[in-house]
A and B are shown apart, each in its own frame.
Chain A
Amino acid sequence: MTRRSIAILILVLSVSLTAGLSWFAIRNYRSAAPIADDSLRGLALTIASAMEGVAGRDPSLESLASFQAREIAYAMLISSSGKILFHTNPDLTGNDVEDSRYRSVLTTGNLGEARIQLGTGEYVYEFQAPFHLSGKACVLRLALHTWRSEEVMRRARFGITLIFSLLALGWGLGIAVFWLLRRQDAQEKLLARQHELARLGEVGAVLAHEVRNPLAGIKGYGQLLEERLPEGRERGYAQLIVRESLRLEKLADDILFFTRTDAGSAQACSLYSVAGQLTTLLTPQLDAAGIRMVVEVGKQVRVNCPEEGLQRLLLNLLTNAVQAMPEGGNVTLKAGADGNVVEISVMDDGSGIEAEMRSGLFEPFRTSKARGAGLGLAVCKKIVDGCGGSITAEDAPGGGALFIVKLPAAQHEGSV
């Protein structure tokens, strides 16, 4: 089972557990209120029945005064004319009741239930029921304290709070652990990449000492032969030796640059000047390939990047464009400052970027070419990152590829 499958399984289980617990908590909470109300209604009916029994035995209602129950906030017996025949506060007996809520009970003969707030601020359960007193129709009004019967509500409230708190805590911790694991994973990947680059650096050093030096000799002798041999097949071999030596030299050079750990100092350099040098350098190659190059770089455009790095960056991007147009075409190098950022774009009308190459385009050793190590764009990325900029690739509006480089702008020469 892969790590991803395990993660999905854990996630599904967690969501199911959360849903199950939430359903249980909500159901428990919602069922608590009717239970509490049933409990109060049952208590009220019991008290009413007991009071009716007492009143039946003593129609003078004097015995009712001794009737006590802890849950009673107050009780009163109201006649059909609205007179209070009995009240747990004896001072109120004989007064007229100040509201007419008893009337509906009297006329319909049904029970009345309500939550009311007393003058003390307490919420009580008010129960009104028909009361038979010596053949006269009366209404018994009971106000009951709700604290004891609502214990079930408090427990349900505590339960739902506890469950949701624990769920929130569990999810929070889960997310934290997931975040930490991902962070650790990313750090491990970074470390592995650093190790990889360090090993590549060792290879680069070997290349520098063991390949580059003899290569210089081979190239030199090849050039010598190229000059001295008469026109013919042997001279062609010598030219081939020189060309391939140059290619190998470039490859060794790229590997050395890519694996170099020392970053060049970020000094201001003129993009206009670098673009000019590159135009001169590439003109023969461009002419031979039938490519027209357009350069639109202002004289004042300067970036904070080492000149050597900027030159290599643009050379790689332009070479890439040239290689993408074997049948000829157009390549445009543009640059413009926007506040503290200089945006450089290199656009060609070649074959564009292949879909399978898009992901990891700037990774080393990834190439779609038959001849090439796949280091050009990786080197570009390293240079741009080293200068604190960014590089992206997209499709050009008219087909082809468009590379956009953003580098920090440098102050103009002479400015403070």
Chain B
Amino acid sequence: MYSTKFTIYLIAVLLMSSPVVAHAFQGGDGDRQSGLNLETGYDANTVTTMAGRIMSVQIGDDHRNAQLELENNGVHAVVVLGPQRYWAEHGIALKAGDDITVRGSKAQGKDGVVYVLAQKITDTSINASVSLRNESGRPAWAGSGMGNGSGRMNNRPAQMRQSPGRMGGGRMGR
């Protein structure tokens, strides 16, 4: 009896300590999944305008931003609307099936999903629009005292994992 219990316990510990199985049992919040700074992140270099149809709207909660899924010619993107409380107070009524135009900073998360950190949304179905960020990308919910790099153009080089290049001695990171 004792040895059976011990064996089961040992196998359970080994299984749960295994990174593969542990990963399968663990969830993660949105930011951890995407690796992006969804709430205050913005980059003027990647600003684009997208038009499409809303597939779904997620109003979010205290820990997740409000966001919607946009589709255009088979291309899907997640449009981040900002904190749920801010969107509830200042947002416009959006629902699945509405045609909208979004201007914002586009990024691809490490989960492979394309995110658009919305600056302005226009619902062409009802001809309503809302601005969530100013032209430089500062979020409306960030307040006047926060200047955390919104709209940044001067990107930071990160570590490059290669040795110096073999194609004309090009610079390989710093």
Q: Using a CB–CB distance below 8 Å, which chain A residues touch chain B?
A: 33-34, 37, 41, 73-74, 76, 87-89, 91-92, 98-99, 101, 104-105, 108-124, 126, 128, 143, 145, 147-148, 158, 161-162, 164-165, 168-169, 172-173, 176, 180, 183
Contacts and interface: CB of A to CB of B under 8 A. Distances in A.
Contacts of A145: 108
Given A116-B155, A121-B107, 13 more contacts: A87-B45, A88-B48, A89-B45, A89-B46, A105-B170, A121-B35, A122-B43, A126-B155, A147-B109, A147-B112, A164-B19, A165-B21, A172-B10
B131 to A, nearest CB: 15
Contact of B151 (A87, A101, A119, A162): A119
Interface in B99-153: 105-110, 112, 115, 117, 137, 149-153
B1 interface: no
B165 A113 contact: yes
Residues of A contacting B: mostly: mixed
Interface stretch (B52-60, B62-70, B88-96, B156-164): B156-164
A147 B115 CA distance: 13
A121 B37 contact: yes
Contact of B107 (A73, A104, A169, A176): A73
A41 B43 CA distance: 23
Contacts of A41: 165, 167
Contacts of A172: 10-11, 14
Given A113-B171, A114-B171, A169-B18, A74 B46 contact: yes
B20 to A, nearest CB: 5
Contacts of B44: 89, 91-92, 119
Contacts of A147: 108-110, 112
A164 B110 CA distance: 23
Contacts of A148: 112
A120 B170 contact: no
Contacts of B169: 108, 110
Contacts of B115: 120
Given A119-B151, A173-B14, A176-B10, A111 B45 contact: no
Which one of B45, B157, B165, B174 has the greatest number of beta carbons of chain A within 10 Å?
A: B45
B168 A110 contact: yes
